[in-house]
Amino acid sequence: MVLRRLLAALLHSPQLVDRLSESWPIRRAAQLTAFALLQAQLRGQDAARRLRDLAAGPAGSLGRRVERFKDAFTQELRRGLRGRSGPPPGSQRGPGANI
């Protein structure tokens, strides 16, 4: 409790805050934070642009890609389930089931 009050008093001191803001570790942390935020913003804008370009492609192109992905995923899932022996996971009940 005493430590919390001491830290609160120190952090509300304008002189201390000013000195800390001029220190190398705090400046470097601020630079890294700004860099990370800018990179995330640029990557988000790039992804949004690519998505718009993809959606604006030939009519139905995106729909065909989604349909192809769904078909391939379903085929792989069925092929994988056929290759398994035994009951599907979650069908056994009781202690020690599916171990």
The pTM for the full model equals 0.46
DSSP string, 1-17: -HHHHHHHHHHT-HHHH
Q: What confidence score (pLDDT) does residue 85 get?
A: 67
Q: At 57, give phi and psi (nearest 5°).
A: -65, -165
Q: What confidence score (pLDDT) does residue 30 get?
A: 93
Maximum CA pair distance of the chain? Answer: 71
Instruction: Express each pLDDT in 40-80 by its tens digit.
Output: 999 999 999 988 887 776 666 777 888 899 999 999 988 88
